[in-house]
Amino acid sequence: MSTPSAPATTAAAIAAGVRDGSLKAADIVEQHLAAIATREPEIHAFNLVLADEARAAAAQIDQRVAAGEDPGPLAGVTVALKDNMCTRGIPTTCSSKILEGWRPPYDATVVSTLRDAGAIVVGKTNLDEFAMGSSTENSAFGPTRNPHDTSRVPGGSSGGSAASVAAGFSQVSFGSDTGGSIRQPAALCGVVGVKPTYGYVSRYGLIAFASSLDQIGPFTNSVEDAALMLDVIGGHDPLDSTSIPQAHPSLRDAMQQDVAGLRIGRITDLPEGADPDVVERLEVAFDTLRAAGAKIVDVQVPAFTFGLTAYYLIAPAEASSNLARYDGVRYGMRVEAADTNAMYGATRAAGFGDEVKRRIMLGTYALSAGYYDAYYGKALKVRRLISDDFDRAYQHADVLLTPTSPSVAFQFGAKGDNPLAMYLCDTYTIPSNLSGQPGMSVPFGTGAHGLPVGVQVLAGTLQEPTMFRVAAALEAAATKERGLQNGGVR
Amino acid sequence: MSQYDGLPGDWQLVVGLEVHVELATATKLFSASPNRFGDEPNTNIDPVTLGLPGALPVLNEQAVELAMRIGAALNCTIQACTFHRKNYFYPDMPKAYQISQYDQPLNVDGYLDLPNGVRVGIERAHMEEDAGKSTHVGGSGGRVHGATYSLIDLNRAGVPLVEIVSRPDIHSADDARAYVNELRGILVAIDASDAKMEEGSMRVDANVSVHKPGTPLGTRCEIKNVNSVRSIGRAIEYEARRQIDLIEGGDVVRQQTRHWDEGDGRTHTLRSKEDADDYRYFLEPDLVPLAPSAEWIAKVKAALPMLPAARRARLADATGQAANSEAVTIVVDRGQDDYVLAIAAAGGDAARGLVYVKEAFADSPKVAAADVAVLTQMEVSGAITATQAKTVLAELVAKGGGDAAAIAAAHGFEAIDTSAVEAFVDEAIATDPDAWQKFCSGDAKAMGALVGLVMKASKGKADGKAVSASLQQRRSDHG
């Protein structure tokens, strides 16, 4: 078992250094490219490393600094992008054969925003095909390995992005979270991962899995960096009708406030199934926050337990529609056949992997005439119930604390043949996608095999400021705890 | 003749029409690409139009405004609404779903009054995006079956449409034609669409069934590919006869979508209900609900121009003609009614003005209404004949205006008095006694020959009406 490279510093510190000339963006990029050169063959975090582009971007930023220009708030910060975000002229595959070789003619809004802010894209990261999975084993281009233990999965679907930060390949990275695809791999890789309120960040250019659930968010080494990233990429985008039409308060400012007096909710009817080591860490988290002056309150979210079932009707239903466009007519793979219908079938049979096909079939069935009311229609009602239950809970608690993942990182193949076991990985993360509310995973010590454990902080709609205050308190406690374990040496 | 003309026995025709109109917006329904007909194929495109991965739709406010205008003009309730996805695979449908409105359309429960007084209910008028255009090469009749390859033009993909669904209140082919004509007039009047069937900016599908009075409605068939107002009537009549023949032959009508073939004048099976796609409608998650404010709706209603029916009534009133007369209908159709009223306002004779405008101006008149007003007065006062007035009018049109009196004088036009007309008639009868005999024995065509002789002899100055009157008087005297 090898250890991941410790973060040298934070994105905030790098940007400050590059902006004042004390650091060179070129040096930052070389450090990360060196880390990639050393460990990427073993980890496989990337579908594509953009070394030349990153070097050119760094040179440009250093020139701007030299010329006295403002290089942006993220100057010199290296980022890795999940390979389901469109990058102009750069292959974007969703880790699927059906999109292999496709080069989007446009940048996702998040991508252009990051570039405009001075961030440097070092590569496109691996994912479960079309973001469907919890281990990154469903990639058509091979799995990503967990930097903490390469015999184990990094989680998914944004496994490549989580591994990139954990392995020091990039300072930060971005993923998308439809049912836990940022938070769960963040927990398994020991980094911070945030799924903001639905509509907080533009989805324009994010290749859709389930449009009403998908949301982009950051992976970082620190809570403050995550706040910084959301402060940069959050906000209304006229190209995304579902993006919230209002400005967001600075999370970097908000997180400075302590947690004294905050009400931390413990969900008494939370679905069981989390491993003892994970449950133990959650208890430590409650104790920590209580010690910091927060109040622990018991709440009930009865519909939480139905989240998984509702999700596996709603998400596949939307996916069956979103993925219908991959028909071989205009772009991506085409398998020639006798007529158009046969070409569709041959192309999609060859282009999609098993999990994607499984969900397309599930979703198509759930929406079909005669079955809609029993499946998709009922799932929508459950979704409503979950939102109502959360809203009631948030009248009594400012945030809720749960495990992020029921277990630490598992071995490759452990759940590969059992889709249901894999789906259970997202038990604790899915409900907040259904309610559209924010959630984040904060690394909080280690569990079995010395592997990272994440604690999930959930909050009400647009309550990111409170969520980040709690996350910062947990981070501080975890850092202190680690220091004590290391004999006071960090 | 019964109201259900063309159908044998006591069969009754029941028709509902679904009319798709392309909105006259600057850009597409969900993207900034131009909404323009006739451009080089696949040039008005963008990531949204192409359905590229990651692209998202953003609703066009101008399209909503035009759709609301249609709702207001059709007396609909304009309401908060949502968009759904209608899922199906077709190569010219880039996302493999069409964004349309389903159970909560923008406009519901309106009506359209036909010129003959029949009121046709409007069930809904909803917004949706158009598909691209496929051109099938190598098959027969432009159909995909048997084609060797197909070309796709996505300029039309994403063009905003409003689908106007009538209730099955139409009971004759004539009323179906009248409905389409009236609807087209309204759409053009409110600047919502150019509504050209030949360019496809207005497309009509007809749901046709037959039944006998007092019995339940029959099974309907949907007729597609009806590309002109004339074909609407033909297709409906053909389809009704086909259904009656089936039933009377002991067979049943099966619910089908049928394709109208203009060439052979028949409808052909396209697909039956059993093979219909399951569209798996669900709420479009990339858009938010649309809830036009009461202020917006009120503003749209207040800004509606006068609609064709009201304009016909106004013109009929001013000219003393029937509101559904050909001249009134045509002139309002062409949007020339304001011009006729301007002629009257300038002191002209409204009735003659109406006739002049109908006859002489195919499109928007370029002659000052006052100039035409003078001419109508010259004719009405008897200063010149109708025939002469026509000549002067033609010259006014050619020159773009002028002094009608001066033009008439330059031609040497003056009224010929009654005695002069009588002399010319005497001369004509003498010249062609055969024609006179035939005319007396009832041959109407013979009168033309005699009038022609008078016109020739008078160099066109004789008033044709006075000549006919004289001939008829003489015949009854003679008889």
Nearest to B288 among A92, A102, A242 (CB): A242
Nearest Cα to Cα of residue A469 among A257, A300, A206, A286: A257
| Residue numbers in B near A325 (CB within 8 A) | 51, 53, 94-96
For position B415, what pLDDT does the model report?
Answer: 63
- What whole-number distance in Å separates Cα of residue A217 and Cα of residue A183? 9
Domain-wise residue ranges, chain B: 12-301, 308-410, 418-478
> How close A352 gets to chain B, by Cα (Å)?
15
Q: Is residue A3 part of a domain?
A: no
> How close A400 gets to chain B, by Cα (Å)?
27
Q: Is residue A6 part of a domain?
A: no
For position A316, what pLDDT does the model report?
Answer: 98
DSSP state of A411: B
Chain B residues interacting with chain A (CB cutoff of 8 angstroms): 47, 50-59, 85, 87, 89, 91, 94-97, 152, 278, 280-282, 285-288
CATH code of the domain in which A169 resides: 3.90.1300.10
Residue B477 confidence class, pLDDT cut points 50, 70, 90: confident
Residue A487 confidence class, pLDDT cut points 50, 70, 90: low
Is there a contact between A208 and B91 if contact means CB atoms under 8 Å apart?
no
User: Which residue of A lies nearest to B50 if distances are taken between CA atoms?
Assistant: A330
Choose between A217 and B410: higher pLDDT: A217
| Residue numbers in B near A208 (CB within 8 A) | 53-54, 286
Nearest to B56 among A104, A204, A376 (CB): A204
Please name the helix (run of DSSP H) or strand (run of DSSP E) that holds residue A112, with its range, or none. helix A109-116
- What whole-number distance in Å separates Cα of residue A406 and Cα of residue A308? 14
Pair (A22, A91) in one structural domain: yes
For position B141, what pLDDT does the model report?
Answer: 67
User: Which residue of A lies nearest to B151 if distances are taken between CA atoms?
Assistant: A329
Pair (A415, A433) in one structural domain: yes
Residue B199 confidence class, pLDDT cut points 50, 70, 90: confident
- What whole-number distance in Å separates Cα of residue B259 and Cα of residue A433? 46
- Whether residue B185 contacts residue B324, with contact meaning beta carbons closer than 8 Å, is answered with no
- Whether residue B186 contacts residue B307, with contact meaning beta carbons closer than 8 Å, is answered with yes
Choose between A224 and B420: higher pLDDT: A224
| Residue numbers in A near B47 (CB within 8 A) | 104-106
- What whole-number distance in Å separates Cα of residue B57 and Cα of residue A71? 32
Residue B3 confidence class, pLDDT cut points 50, 70, 90: very low
For position B479, what pLDDT does the model report?
Answer: 63
- Whether residue A339 contacts residue A306, with contact meaning beta carbons closer than 8 Å, is answered with no
- What whole-number distance in Å separates Cα of residue B355 and Cα of residue B325? 12
* pLDDT averaged over every residue in chain B: 92
Nearest to B285 among A212, A238, A376 (CB): A212
Is there a contact between B52 and A321 if contact means CB atoms under 8 Å apart?
no
Q: Using the Cα atoms of residue B88, residue A209, residue A343 and residue B142 in order, give the sign of their dihedral.
A: positive
Q: Is the pLDDT of residue A488 over 70?
A: no
End-to-end CA distance of chain B: 37
> How close A342 gets to chain B, by Cα (Å)?
12
Is there a contact between A86 and B53 if contact means CB atoms under 8 Å apart?
yes
Share of chain A above pLDDT 90, in %: 94
- Whether residue B141 contacts residue B268, with contact meaning beta carbons closer than 8 Å, is answered with no
Q: Which residues of A are catalytic?
A: 82, 157, 181
Is there a contact between B58 and A317 if contact means CB atoms under 8 Å apart?
no
Nearest Cα to Cα of residue A431 among A215, A134, A156, A180: A180
Pair (A148, A107) in one structural domain: yes
For position A418, what pLDDT does the model report?
Answer: 84
- What whole-number distance in Å separates Cα of residue A179 and Cα of residue B234? 56
* pLDDT averaged over every residue in chain A: 95
> How close B37 gets to chain A, by Cα (Å)?
22
CB atoms within 10 A of CB A122: 30
Choose between B140 and B251: higher pLDDT: B251
User: Which residue of A lies nearest to B30 if distances are taken between CA atoms?
Assistant: A239
Please name the helix (run of DSSP H) or strand (run of DSSP E) that holds residue B121, with its range, or none. strand B119-129
For position B272, what pLDDT does the model report?
Answer: 84
User: Which residue of B lies nearest to A240 if distances are taken between CA atoms?
Assistant: B56
Pair (A115, A131) in one structural domain: yes
Is there a contact between A105 and B288 if contact means CB atoms under 8 Å apart?
no
Nearest to A203 among B51, B56, B94 (CB): B56
Q: Is the pLDDT of residue A8 over 70?
A: no
Pair (A410, A424) in one structural domain: yes
Alpha helices in A307-452 (DSSP H): 307-322, 340-351, 354-367, 378-396, 419-423, 430-435
Question: Where among A384, A402, A419 does a domain terminate?
Answer: A384
Which residue out of B45, B148, B286 would a mutagenesis test of the A interface target, given it has the greatest number of A Cβ atoms within 10 Å? B286
pLDDT tens digits for range A101-114: 899 999 999 999 99
Residue A6 confidence class, pLDDT cut points 50, 70, 90: very low
Residue B423 confidence class, pLDDT cut points 50, 70, 90: confident
Q: Encoding tokens for residue A247? A: 């400005």
pLDDT tens digits for range B12-44: 999 999 999 999 999 999 999 999 999 999 999
Hey, which residues does A446 pair with through a beta bridge? A452
CATH, domain B418-478, list 3.40.50.300, 1.10.540.10, 2.60.40.10, 1.10.10.410: 1.10.10.410
Pair (A373, A407) in one structural domain: no
**Conformation bin of residue A94: beta by default, left when phi > 0, alpha when psi is -120 to 50:** left
Is there a contact between B54 and A94 if contact means CB atoms under 8 Å apart?
no
Complex-level ipTM: 0.95
> How close B104 gets to chain A, by Cα (Å)?
16
For position B451, what pLDDT does the model report?
Answer: 85
Q: Is residue A2 part of a domain?
A: no
| Residue numbers in B near A331 (CB within 8 A) | 52
| Average pLDDT over every residue of B125-145 | 87
Is there a contact between B50 and A330 if contact means CB atoms under 8 Å apart?
yes
Q: Is the pLDDT of residue A232 over 80?
A: yes
Question: Residue A380: which residues within 8 A CB-CB, separation 6 or more?
Answer: A310, A314
Is there a contact between B280 and A330 if contact means CB atoms under 8 Å apart?
no
Pair (A61, A202) in one structural domain: yes
| Residue numbers in A near B52 (CB within 8 A) | 86, 104-106, 331
Question: What's the domain range around A444?
Answer: 11-302+385-485
Pair (A374, A401) in one structural domain: no
User: Which residue of A lies nearest to B94 if distances are taken between CA atoms?
Assistant: A325
For position B1, what pLDDT does the model report?
Answer: 33
Choose between B404 and A51: higher pLDDT: A51
Pair (A78, A222) in one structural domain: yes
| Residue numbers in B near A324 (CB within 8 A) | 87, 89, 95-97
Q: DSSP letters along A60-88, please?
A: HHHHHHHTT----TTTT-EEEEETTB-BT
Question: Where among A384, A412, A434 does a domain terminate?
Answer: A384
User: Which residue of B lies nearest to A239 if distances are taken between CA atoms?
Assistant: B58
Domain count, chain A: 2
- What whole-number distance in Å separates Cα of residue A430 and Cα of residue A215? 12
Pair (A285, A354) in one structural domain: no
> How close A143 gets to chain B, by Cα (Å)?
23
**A-to-B residue pairs, Cβ atoms closer than 8 angstroms:** 97
CB atoms within 10 A of CB A235: 18
Q: Is the pLDDT of residue A416 over 50?
A: yes
| Average pLDDT over every residue of B368-374 | 92
Is there a contact between A376 and B57 if contact means CB atoms under 8 Å apart?
no
Is there a contact between B53 and A240 if contact means CB atoms under 8 Å apart?
no
Is there a contact between A327 and B96 if contact means CB atoms under 8 Å apart?
yes
Q: Is the pLDDT of residue A417 over 60?
A: yes
Q: Encoding tokens for residue A44? A: 């496989």
Is there a contact between B97 and A240 if contact means CB atoms under 8 Å apart?
no
Share of chain A above pLDDT 70, in %: 97
Q: Using the Cα atoms of residue A102, residue A104, residue A107 and residue A108 in order, give the sign of their dihedral.
A: negative
Lowest mean pLDDT segment, chosen from A269-273, A400-404, A480-484, B264-268: A480-484
Is there a contact between A318 and B285 if contact means CB atoms under 8 Å apart?
yes
| Average pLDDT over every residue of B230-254 | 95
> How close A212 gets to chain B, by Cα (Å)?
5
Share of chain B above pLDDT 70, in %: 97
Pair (A77, A182) in one structural domain: yes
Q: How far is CA B122 from the centre of its chain?
A: 18
Question: Where among A384, A419, A454 does a domain terminate?
Answer: A384
CA dihedral A394, A395, A398, A401 (to 10 degrees): -40
| Average pLDDT over every residue of A171-186 | 98
Nearest to B286 among A241, A325, A341 (CB): A241
> Is A198 exposed, middle or buried, given 0-12, 13-18 or 19+ CB atoms closer than 10 A?
buried
Q: Is residue A4 part of a domain?
A: no
| Residue numbers in B near A376 (CB within 8 A) | 282
For position A82, what pLDDT does the model report?
Answer: 98
For position B365, what pLDDT does the model report?
Answer: 81
pLDDT tens digits for range B99-123: 999 999 999 999 999 999 999 999 9
End-to-end CA distance of chain A: 21
Q: How many residues does chain B have?
A: 479
Nearest Cα to Cα of residue A439 among A197, A161, A132, A158: A197
Pair (A235, A380) in one structural domain: no
For position B5, what pLDDT does the model report?
Answer: 54
| Residue numbers in A near B53 (CB within 8 A) | 86, 92, 94, 99, 102, 104, 207-208, 325
Quote helix, strand, coil % in chain B, to nearest 5.
Answer: 40, 20, 40
Nearest to A324 among B91, B96, B281 (CB): B96
- What whole-number distance in Å separates Cα of residue B10 and Cα of residue B77? 36
